[in-house]
A = this chain, B = another copy of it.
């Protein structure tokens, strides 16, 4: 990594967010093993809290839920070619119902992250013609289903629920809808759940740092993706999933942001705008890195 133009004052390490879910473990592995971690002030947290921190200006760069990015696009600038998405099943963004889908009348939301929630709303309201009520709750599936007909979960708890449902097969008492797969069914496109963005004021003041962080992220991800078996085997020691399950999850996720992913992103942005959740002409603007 190289510095800002010579003669400038001493730099401050960029304050960077990191999602402390399994979906971003390959990125973290790469940040550690490339040594790039030394050059950022990393805050690990849930996606919801990282969204808030980036919007509030407590972070300079970080992942952000697609809907939150679109709602705050004036203050943010996206990093190209890195995202968390899926081209079909995602395994970790799920609607889980204790009743047949068409009978869902109440939904517990395990996250404020609007992207997963909005996908569930599109499914229930636009596709199934239902009008359920929604309530935010801690992401604890049994508790959620005691209070509501269905639950929207994201992240590791969703992965666990999908995993358990798959293993139980038809004996499983719950209906599990993979919202990445559902989106693909309607749209024929990949889904982008989160992008990485820098605060626009930070990017204007420190374009070199934004480029470096982007290079480090992309390089770290590529490093990890080249040795996913090792990443999964190592992580399986500490995580509640075996190495095969982790490898499958990591390869199911789509960390790219190419033309098809952008097409999916814009299609989703259109539906979000139609529902009034994001501004009508919200669009994604990329940093010139």
Interface set of A (CB-CB < 8 Å, partner B): 3, 10-13, 28-29, 32-33, 35, 37-39, 234-235, 237-240
A32 touches B35 (CB 8 A): yes
- Copies of this chain in the oligomer: 2
Q: A10-B238, A13-B238, A38-B234 are in contact. List 9 more A-B contacts (CB 8 A).
A: A3-B237, A10-B239, A10-B240, A11-B237, A12-B238, A28-B38, A29-B38, A32-B35, A32-B38
Q: Please provide the 6 A-B residue pairs with the shortest distance between their CB atoms, ordered closest to farther.
A: A13-B238, A32-B37, A33-B35, A32-B32, A32-B35, A32-B38
What are 16 A-to-B residue pairs whose CB atoms are below 8 Å? A10-B238, A10-B239, A10-B240, A11-B237, A12-B238, A13-B238, A28-B38, A29-B38, A32-B32, A32-B35, A32-B37, A32-B38, A33-B35, A38-B235, A39-B237, A39-B238
Q: How far is the CB of A240 from chain B (nearest CB, A)?
A: 7
In whole angstroms, how far apart are the Cα atoms of A39 and B37 in the complex? 15
Q: How far is the CB of A46 from chain B (nearest CB, A)?
A: 15
Q: How far is the CB of A217 from chain B (nearest CB, A)?
A: 16
In whole angstroms, how far apart are the Cα atoms of A3 and B234 in the complex? 11
Q: How far is the CB of A45 from chain B (nearest CB, A)?
A: 13
Given the complex, which residues of B lie within 8 Å of A29, measured CB to CB?
38
Given the complex, which residues of B lie within 8 Å of A10, measured CB to CB?
238-240
Q: How far is the CB of A113 from chain B (nearest CB, A)?
A: 23
Given the complex, which residues of B lie within 8 Å of A3, measured CB to CB?
237
Given the complex, which residues of B lie within 8 Å of A239, measured CB to CB?
10
A37 touches B37 (CB 8 A): yes
Q: How far is the CB of A115 from chain B (nearest CB, A)?
A: 27
Q: How far is the CB of A212 from chain B (nearest CB, A)?
A: 11
